[in-house]
Chain A
Amino acid sequence: MNNVIEAHGLTKRYKGTVAVDNIDLHIPSGRIVGLIGPNGAGKTTALKAILGLANYEGELSVLGKNPAKDRAALMEDVCFIADVAVLPRWIKVWQLIELTENIHPRFSREKCLQYLKSTKITLDHRVKQLSKGMVVQLHLAIVMAIDVKLLVLDEPTLGLDILFRKQFYTNLLNDYFDEERTIIITTHQVEEIEHILSDLIFIQDGRIALDCSMEEVQESYVELIVAPDKAAAARDLQPLYERELFGRFIFLYKNSNREQLKTLGELHTPSVADLFVATMNGGAA
């Protein structure tokens, strides 16, 4: 029972449509998992089930608890930011801090204030007076000051400028993350998180399209860049996907003979974004 999240046959139906279709998940602790999928693939639905915000069919255990039944108890060890900043608009920053402090046993006021110091947010601000980006900053400051075992971030940096996004991921990795913790992130800006991820899960049409560690990605997948005259030969080696860029052809392979590929052109580790596109267009897994 080392896994933070353990799901078997997790399914969620909404009036006829299946949003999450019979998925299995095993997420151990100490990982940073990128949950990536196109809009409407079922990411948020799966996360809602994990966070006890929606009912589901199948088996699901988060930190050994049943999220549908024990949401309140689970939230002592789990924190999340939903896809849009949803802090109540009427609340003042100091009230938010006091409230979280009184309700959350693992909230550190000092840490929160320290994070806020690097922003323009003051304690007397009301949430509705803050810009969209500042609201996200505030929410992140609160969440990062809570010492939980599982942190779920659903599009956490939406609406933030690039400086803050970089800063946020750096903080997340350096100050927040450790072996005891697990972080699940969904985002469309895959490039920004790929260097901090340890695991990758692709979701498509409610099913898991890919579930592997970043090491496995590096070991199993390779990208070959060839000139047009070698394209036919490369195509014969059963690539998963091909695309054309500046007159050259790029092929994606899984578990293929690298020595053989090397004779045709340059080899690269594919980026998560490229792997994602390939997976969505034909199934790399």
Chain B
Amino acid sequence: MNRLIALVKREFWENKGAFRTTPLVIGGIYIVLILMFLVTFNHFDNEFQSLKELTRFLSQTEVGLRSEVIYGITVAVFPGLFTLALAFVVFFYLLGSLYDDRKDRSILFWKSLPASDTLTLGSKLLAAMVVAPLIFWVIYVLTYVVITLIFSVVVLSLGENPWTLFLSLGSPFKAWSMVLLSYLAQSVWALPLYGWLMLVSSFAPRIPLLFAVLPPVVVAVLQIWIEFLQTFTLKKNLFGVIGEWFANSPLILSADDHGDNKLEVSLGIPLTDTFGHEATVANIFDRLFSTHMLIGLAVAAVFLGAALWLRRRATES
């Protein structure tokens, strides 16, 4: 256990920039943008006159709707940049996870430590599945709190009550928990991809990105071509399967106005009706305990097993 923790720590040290600085920069950008917005307002509009009007207008909107909108912003809109950046960070982290130390030959040092290849692989997967999402989530929550504080101070200074205006609405704790749950669920849902990236990382002689992208593209193009020649129709191909897989992701990706003054927060991209779209705990678990997930886990196991096999032989030549 100590060894696993030490190895996970090592992953964090090596990837501090991606794991910690990236979300900090995003949080910083949010805060700076909001401060700039306030300064700009003050510049053109002394005493925040129009902001005051806006606040007064907001305070007169219906509480239920206001609460829903705030929840939607907290759970779907605000974390958007964090989620996007997290996906990029994890993608490139895994792509380099078993490649970088082969390239600079430090793999010989890592292999001189009494840590098994399984443990090493596990620590890298754990960093991608839990450590990175957790850090992004913590910084998302902190940024949210800071921004809420800024708004509270502004609203207070305008003579309105921030508590009744927004602080007591939108169930932030529920929203934060939902975001965390959806991040962790996504870590499981995306395991076939993570396994593939680690597999590529364990054998690519150079440019792992190319080796990660090219094979599925070739397969899909061949599929499309053969289908087309045989039947003059376009049936499902690898692109479709992968696309659908990520459309069905348990990530909270959007909040839409449903017309009847209702806001729906959705999971993934609502392309098919395989799973419920509404961002609820039940719908997240529905995905995790589906046959789809079972197949996905089997695929991931094959990829990860192959990655481990190759890792054991990485020092052969």
Contacts and interface: CB of A to CB of B under 8 A. Distances in A.
Interface of A: 14, 48, 51-55, 71-76, 79-82, 84, 86-92, 95, 98-100, 102-105, 139
B6 A88 contact: no
A92 B9 CA distance: 13
A73 B107 CA distance: 17
Given A82-B108, A103-B7, A75 B315 contact: no
Nearest to A143: B112
B10 interface: yes
Contacts of B10: 91, 95, 99
Contacts of B106: 86-89
B315 A102 contact: no
A73 B119 CA distance: 12
B115 A88 contact: no
A53 B108 contact: yes
A99 B173 CA distance: 36
Given A48-B315, A54-B316, A55-B316, A99 B9 contact: yes
A79 B3 CA distance: 17
A149 to B, nearest CB: 13
A71 B111 contact: yes
6 contacts: A51-B111, A76-B114, A82-B108, A88-B14, A91-B10, A103-B7
B114 A84 contact: no
A92 B109 CA distance: 15
Interface of B: 2-3, 5-7, 9-10, 13-14, 101, 104-117, 119, 313, 315-317
Contacts of B6: 98-99, 102-103
B109 A87 contact: yes
Contact of A55 (B2, B107, B114, B313): B313
Contacts of B7: 103
A73 B114 contact: yes
5 closest pairs, A vs B, by CB?
A102-B6, A72-B116, A75-B114, A53-B315, A88-B106
A105 B104 CA distance: 26
B105 A84 contact: yes
Nearest to B17: A90
A75 B113 contact: yes
Contact of A54 (B105, B114, B315): B315
Contact of B104 (A52, A89, A104, A139): A89
A141 B316 CA distance: 27
B3 A102 contact: yes
B316 A80 contact: no
Nearest to A128: B104
A103 B315 contact: no
Contacts of A105: 114
Nearest to A48: B315
B160 to A, nearest CB: 50
Contacts of B317: 14
Among A14, A87, A99, max chain B CB count under 10 A is at A99
Contacts of B113: 75, 100, 103-104
A81 B105 CA distance: 12
Contacts of A86: 104-109
A72 B109 contact: no
Nearest to B118: A72
A56 to B, nearest CB: 10
Contact of A103 (B3, B105, B107, B313): B3
A180 B6 CA distance: 29
A84 B109 CA distance: 10
A14 B316 CA distance: 9
Given A72-B117, A75-B114, 10 more contacts: A53-B108, A53-B111, A71-B117, A76-B114, A82-B108, A88-B101, A89-B106, A91-B13, A92-B13, A104-B114
Contacts of A87: 106, 109
B97 to A, nearest CB: 13
A132 B3 CA distance: 29
A62 to B, nearest CB: 13
Contacts of B119: 72
A105 B113 CA distance: 10
B19 to A, nearest CB: 13
B26 to A, nearest CB: 23
A95 B313 contact: no
Among B14, B105, B108, B114, max chain A CB count under 10 A is at B114
Contacts of A51: 111-112
Contacts of B313: 54-55
A139 B112 CA distance: 12
A104 B2 CA distance: 10
A72 B114 CA distance: 4
Contacts of A98: 6, 9
Given A73-B114, A102-B6, A88 B104 contact: yes
Nearest to A88: B106
Contacts of A48: 315-316
B13 A75 contact: no
A227 to B, nearest CB: 51
A147 B22 CA distance: 40
A117 B115 CA distance: 28
